C-alpha cells in the first residue's frame, strides 16, 4: 500500500477498461492526492478484484482512469453476517471498520429492546465500510443494511443460517472456542453473529433467542466486554474456528 492511492469505484474493472471519474473523485485524486496524468493507482469495485490503473486524463471536474493489470483476485469472505445494536457513533464506526477487516458479507444494525434509539445513518456507514476496505487492502465491501428491529429480523430469519449468540449473561457457560469447535464437523453453511447492546438483551429477547434451533449461545470469557470488543472477539473466534483463517 505504502503511499499508492487505493480507490473504490462503482464501475466494472478489466483489462484496458476506462473509468470516467465523478467530480468528487477527481477532486480527491487530483486536488487532494495531487496525482497527475500517467500516475499509477489501485482500483477495486467489490467484485472484479484489484487492478493497477493509470490516470489517462486529469481535470478539475472529472478525468479518466485506465485499468492495466489485475493486482489481486477478487476475494469473498465466508457467508457471515454481523448483527449488532448500534452504540455511540465512534464505536459504531469502529465495529463497521473491524467487520470489513475481519471479513463478513453483511453488516446488520438492529434495534433491540434496550437499544438507545440513536438513529444510525446507513449511508454514512456504507461510506465508512468503503473507506475501511480502501485502507485495509480488502477487495470486498460488505453490504450495510438499514436499521431494523431485531424482532423483525428474527421473524424472517433465513432457513439454514446459524446464529452465534454472544450473550453476556452466558458467562460461565461452555467456552466459545470449544463450543464452536464442536460445530466444525457439522454441515457447512451460512452463519450470523449477534452482539448484544451495552445494556444487554431483555429477558423476552433472550428467551426467544434461546428457543431457536439455529441459535448457538457462546460466552466471551469471564470479563465484561464492551460491544465493539465483543464484536472483534466474536469475529476472531468464528473466523479462526469455522471461517477462512484455517
Q: How far apart are CA 199 and CA 166, in angstroms?
A: 13
3-state secondary structure of 57: strand
For the segment 35-74, give every residue that binds a copy of itself (CB under 8 A).
Answer: none
Residues 124-143 that bind a copy of itself (CB under 8 A): 135-138
Binding mask 3-22 for a copy of itself (x = CB under 8 A): --------------------
CA distance 138 to 131: 10
Q: Which residue number, 63 or 142, has a Cβ lying nearer to a copy of itself? A: 142
| C-alpha closest to that of 142 among 155, 153, 133 | 133
Piece in contact with a copy of itself (CB under 8 A), picked from 10-18, 40-48, 160-168, 230-238: 230-238
Contacts for 30-33 with beta carbons within 8 Å, 24 or more apart? Answer: 30/55, 30/58, 30/59, 30/60, 30/63, 31/60, 33/5
Burial per residue of 120-157, b for 16 or more beta-carbon CB atoms within 10 angstroms, e otherwise = beeeebbebbbbbbbeeebbbbbebbebeebeebbeee
Is residue 164 a contact residue for a copy of itself (CB under 8 A)? no
Q: Does 86 bind a copy of itself (CB under 8 A)?
A: no
Question: Nearest approach, Cβ of 27 to a copy of itself (angstroms)?
Answer: 25
CB-wise, 30 or 84, nearer to a copy of itself?
84
Question: What separation, in Å, do the N-terminal and C-terminal C-alpha atoms of the chain show?
Answer: 25
Nearer to a copy of itself, 153 or 193 (CB): 193
C-alpha distances (whole Å) from 101 to each of 181, 183, 231 are 23, 24, 12
How many residues belong to the chain? 246
- d(CA 32, CA 174) in angstroms, rounded, equals 52
Q: Which of 103, 109, 142, 196 binds a copy of itself (CB under 8 A)?
A: 103
How many residues contact a copy of itself, by CB under 8 A? 33
Helix, strand counts (H, E) of the chain:
7, 12
Between 215 and 229, whose beta carbon lies closer to a copy of itself? 229
Q: Cell 471461517, residue?
A: 243
- Smallest gap from residue 220 Cβ to a copy of itself (A): 7
Q: C-beta of 186: minimal distance to a copy of itself in Å?
A: 17
User: Min. distance of Cβ 30 from a copy of itself in angstroms?
Assistant: 27
Specify the stretch interacting with a copy of itself by CB under 8 A; choose among 11-19, 122-130, 207-215, 228-236. Answer: 228-236
Binding residues vs a copy of itself (CB under 8 A): 75, 98, 101-103, 135-138, 175-178, 219-226, 229, 232-233, 236-237, 239-241, 243-246
Amino acid at each position: 500500500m505504502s503511499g499508492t492511492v487505493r480507490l473504490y469505484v462503482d464501475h466494472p474493472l478489466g483489462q484496458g477498461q476506462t473509468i470516467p471519474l465523478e467530480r468528487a473523485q477527481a477532486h480527491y485524486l487530483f486536488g487532494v492526492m495531487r496525482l497527475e496524468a500517467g500516475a499509477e493507482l489501485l482500483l477495486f469495485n467489490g467484485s472484479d478484484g484489484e487492478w493497477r490503473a493509470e490516470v489517462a486524463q486529469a481535470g478539475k471536474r472529472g478525468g479518466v482512469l485506465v485499468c492495466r493489470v489485475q493486482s489481486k483476485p477478487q476475494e469473498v469472505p465466508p457467508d457471515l453476517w454481523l448483527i449488532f445494536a448500534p452504540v455511540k457513533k465512534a464505536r459504531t464506526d469502529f465495529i463497521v471498520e473491524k467487520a470489513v477487516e475481519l471479513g463478513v458479507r453483511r453488516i446488520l444494525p438492529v434495534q433491540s429492546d434496550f437499544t438507545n434509539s440513536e438513529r444510525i445513518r446507513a449511508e454514512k456507514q456504507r461510506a465508512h465500510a468503503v473507506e475501511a476496505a480502501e485502507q485495509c487492502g480488502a477487495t470486498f465491501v460488505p453490504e450495510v443494511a438499514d436499521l431494523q428491529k431485531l424482532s423483525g429480523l428474527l421473524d424472517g430469519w433465513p432457513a439454514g443460517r446459524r446464529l452465534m449468540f454472544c450473550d453476556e449473561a452466558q458467562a460461565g457457560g461452555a467456552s466459545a472456542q470449544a463450543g464452536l469447535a464442536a460445530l466444525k464437523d457439522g454441515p457447512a453453511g451460512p452463519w450470523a453473529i449477534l452482539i448484544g447492546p451495552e445494556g444487554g438483551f431483555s429477558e423476552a429477547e433472550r428467551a426467544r433467542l434461546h428457543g431457536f434451533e439455529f441459535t448457538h449461545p457462546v460466552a466471551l470469557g469471564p470479563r465484561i466486554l464492551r460491544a465493539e470488543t465483543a464484536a472483534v472477539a466474536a469475529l476472531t473466534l468464528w473466523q479462526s474456528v469455522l471461517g477462512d483463517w484455517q
